[in-house]
Structure 1
C-alpha cells in the first residue's frame, strides 16, 4: 500500500562486505533456491505483508497456484505497518523467521537501499533488469541502490483523492455531485469550510473526517520535499509546506471536525461501517480497505472526488526477497508475476490499488467502480498519478511521519496546544532516529 516518493540514495557497502553477504546468502540458513518442502517438488512460498495488498481478495494467489500446481502460497499479514516494520527489523537482524517474500512500504524503501542492501536479494540475478521499462521511472529508481542492485519490484502507487459518504452528505444538506464538490473544496480552506457546514447539520455521532493524522499525511503527500531534501538533509522542522500541513491539521482538530480515531485501530476499522465520519483522505489503495471494513452494506453509499489542493501521492509498496529466504528463485517468479501489468490491472479493478506499471495504467484508464457510486476511478486516480510530484525519499520518512501524526493526535484527543505538540513531535523524532 499504499504508499511513491522519488529517492536519493547513499552508497551501499561494497567489496568484502558484499562478498560476505553473498556467501552468507548461499551458505546460511541451510536453504537453496531449488529447495522443496515435500515430495514431487512441491514448494510452499511464504509471503509476509502489511495492510491490504489485496492479492488473496482479488484471486491472484488462486490463479497463480492454478498456473503452478507445485506452488502453495501462504500469506501472513500485519494490519499496522509500523508493527510490521519493527518485527521485520528484528528478524533481519537475527537472520531467521523471514518469509520468502516481504512487503516494503515506500516510506521504508530508502532505508532498505541505503542501509540494508546486504539483507535482500539483488533481483537482477533473476532477470529483473529486463523489467525496468514496465515501471514508472521513479518507482523503479527508488528500489535501486547506488551501485545498481534492484531490491524490490513495485506493486502500487498511492495517487490521492477524497472519498465521501453521499448518504451522510444528503442528511447534512450538502451537495453530493463529485464535480461540484471538487470545486467547493478546490483548496484545503474550502474543505474545512465545508466541514463546518457539515458539523452544523451532521447526523448524530458523525464527524467530518476520520483523523487529523490522515489529513496531514495526505497533504504532505502533495509535496516534493517533505522530511528530507535532495541532499539527504533532514528538513522537516524548517519545511514551510510541512508547517502548512501541520497548521491545517491543527485547525481541523481545534474545530472539532474529526472523529478522533487512530488509523488502523479497531475503533477506526469499525467506524467505516458505523458512519462515524463523512470523508476520508483517500489514496487509491484505501478503496480496497473501505470495501473490506464497510462491507456490502456500504456499496453505493460512497463516492470519490478530486483532492483539495492538487494532486499528490501517499503510499505504495514493493515486494522483496530476503537473502535468508528459503525459496529465492520461486519467490522472484511469484513477485514478477504479481507485479506484471496484467495482474496490476486486475488488482486495481478489483481492489483499487493503483498500478506502478506503465502498461497497467493504460489498461485501467476507463475503469469505474460500482461500490463507489460508479466513480471513474481510472480517470480520477490516473490524472492524480500523472500530476503528482516526484517525491524525495529519506531513510526515516515513515518514522518522522509517525511522530508527527502521534503529536497531532494529542492535539486532537487531549486538546494540548499546537506548540507543545510540535515540541513533542521534535522529541519523538530525536528519540526515534537520533
Structure 2
C-alpha cells in the first residue's frame, strides 16, 4: 500500500479513538448546543477548531465537539452509518469519497444548504468529486494533493545537470525523459533512484490521467490501454534499475535519509513527510518543478453533514467557514493542507519562500499543478481494483514475476472481486 500523508499522520495515534459517543444521532449523548464532528489526526488546523469549540461563527450558542480518531477511521464511520446510531453531525472523508456514495441517503445535499453559491471559489475538479453520479452534493471540499517533481540539487550538480527548476522541467517534460535523466544521475552517483518503489511510479502516473478504473455509468475500464501503459511504465523504471525498492514505511524513510532517492514525483504533502521529516540535514538541497507527464493529484479530503445532524444550517455555516480561502491558507501552515480554493495561493502564508527548498516559492509549482489537473472519476470500487494491480506490481519488483502474467493475474482477481461486489 502506498504511503500517504494521512497514514503517516495517523500512525501511532490509535489512542485518539477513545470517546466515540456524544454524536448527533437520535441516540446521541451530545448536548443540544453541540455539533459533533469526527475526523482523523492531522486533518484540520487546531487553532481554527479551537475557535469553533468556543462557538460556531455566526451561530451564538452552538459550539463544535470534535473527536480525532487515530485508526480504522473509515470503518468506524461506515459502521456508525450502517447502525444508524451514534452518528456524528459532521464527518471528514478522505479522497476515497466515492466509496461513501452508496450511503448518500444518509447525508444532506449541501446545495440545499447554500453550497451552490460558493462553488465558484473552488477548483472545479475538486468540487465535482464531492457530487454523486445522481447529482447530489454530498461532500464539501477541504484540501488537495497536487503533484510535482522533487529533486536533490547536489546530486543533479554532480551529474552536470542544471538545477534551475525551469531547466529541469524542460529536461524532463515526460516520463521517457525522466528515465533518461535518471540514467544520467545513476551513472554519476551510483545507487540513485527516481522512485521509492514500483507502485510509487504507477500511482504517480495514474494520478495524472483524466480517467481511472470505472466510468460514471459503471463500465469497467481498468483493463484498457491507459492503465496498462501506467503499469508498463512502472515495470520499465524497475528494469532500468531506477527504483529504490523500498516497500515499507521505514525503508521509504531510509532511502530519503541516505540520499538514494534523488528525484521523486509526489504530492505536496511529501515535502513534510519525506525530506523535512526523514532528512532534515538536507535543508536547502531540494527543489520542486513541474512533474513529467503533466499535472496530477494524490490525496485531499472533504467534509459531509449527516442526515442525523441537529442543526444542518449551523453545520454548513461551520464547514464553509472552516474551508474559506482565508482559513485554508492557515491550514496550509499546519498541518500542511494544500487549499482547494485558488484565492488562497497568493496568500502570504503560502507564497513565502521555503528555506528547506533553497528559498524557492514551492507553492507556485503546486498551485499550477492544482489548476491544470484534468480531474478523473473515482468510483466506489477503485480500491477493489487498485489492490490487485498494486500487489502484482510488488510481485514483479520483489519476486521477479513475469509482468504479462502479473497483469493477467491482476485482471482475473479484479473480475472476481467486482463480480462479488455486484459491480459487473
Task: Identify the TM-score tier after normalising by the shorter chain.
Answer: 0.7 to 0.9
Tell me which of 112, 124, 127 is aligned to 1:140: 127
Q: Which has the higher contact order (CA 8 A, sep 6+)?
A: 1
Which residue of the other structure, out of 13, 21, 31, is the alignment partner of 1:36?
Answer: 31
Could you say if the C-alpha distance between residues 432 and 105 of structure 1 is closer, same or farther in structure 2, counting changes exceeding 3 Å?
A: farther
The aligned runs of 1:112-127 (5 Å cut-off) are 112-113=100-101, 115-124=102-111, 126-127=113-114
**Number of the residue aligned with 2:196:** 210
Q: Which digits, 9 at most, give the CA deviation of each residue in 1:137-161, with x for residues without a partner?
A: 3322332235553221101223221
Aligned to 1:385: 370
Are 1:143 and 1:151, in contact at CA under 8 Å, matched by a contact in 2?
A: yes
C-alpha separation in 2, matches of 1:274 and 1:60? 37
Are 1:131 and 2:121 an aligned pair?
A: no
Residues 431 and 351 from structure 1, CA distance in 2 versus in 1: closer, same or farther, beyond 3 angstroms?
Answer: same
Report deviation, 1:380. Answer: 1.1
**Match for 2:144 among 157, 162, 166?**
157
Equivalent residue number for residue 206 of structure 2: 220
Q: Which runs of 5+ in 2 are unaligned?
A: 7-22, 57-61, 420-424
Are 1:236 and 2:226 matched, yes or no? Answer: no
Aligned to 1:103: 92
Task: Give the equivalent residue in structure 1 for 2:11.
Answer: none
Residues in 1 aligned to 2:24 and 2:293: alpha-carbon distance in whole angstroms: 53
Quick check: 2:168–2:289 contact (8 Å CA) kept in 1?
yes
Number of the residue aligned with 1:308: 292
User: What is the CA-CA distance between 1:309 and the residue it aligns to?
Assistant: 1.7
Cα distance in 1 between the residues matched to 2:135 and 2:299 = 23
Number of the residue aligned with 1:76: 69
Question: In structure 2, which of residues 271, 280, 283 is the aligned counterpart of residue 299 of structure 1?
Answer: 283
User: Is the alpha carbon distance of 1:27 and 1:185 closer, same or farther for their aligned partners in structure 2, counting shifts above 3 Å?
Assistant: closer
What are the ranges of 5 or more consecutive residues in structure 1 without an aligned counterpart? 4-25
Query: Aligned with 1:162: secondary structure?
Result: strand
Cα deviations across residues 170-229 of structure 1 (Å, max 9, x unaligned)?
Answer: 45655432222212211211111222222234366x533212212111112222122123
Distance (Å, rounded) in 2 between the aligned partners of 1:427 and 1:366:
48
Structure 2 residue 49 is the aligned partner of structure 1 residue 48: no
CA RMSD of aligned residues (A): 3.5
Give distance in 2, aligned partners of 1:165 and 1:327.
Answer: 50
Distance 1:254 1:410 in 2: 13
User: What TM-score do the two structures reach when normalised by structure 2?
Assistant: 0.79
Task: Work out whether residues 368 and 376 of structure 1, in 8 Å CA contact, stay in contact via their aligned partners in 2.
Answer: yes
Separation (CA, whole Å) in 1 of partners of 2:287 and 2:128:
34
Count of aligned pairs:
394
Q: Return the alpha-carbon distance in structure 2 between the equivalents of residues 153 and 223 of structure 1.
A: 23
Q: Residues of 2 paired with 1:312 and 1:178: CA distance?
A: 18
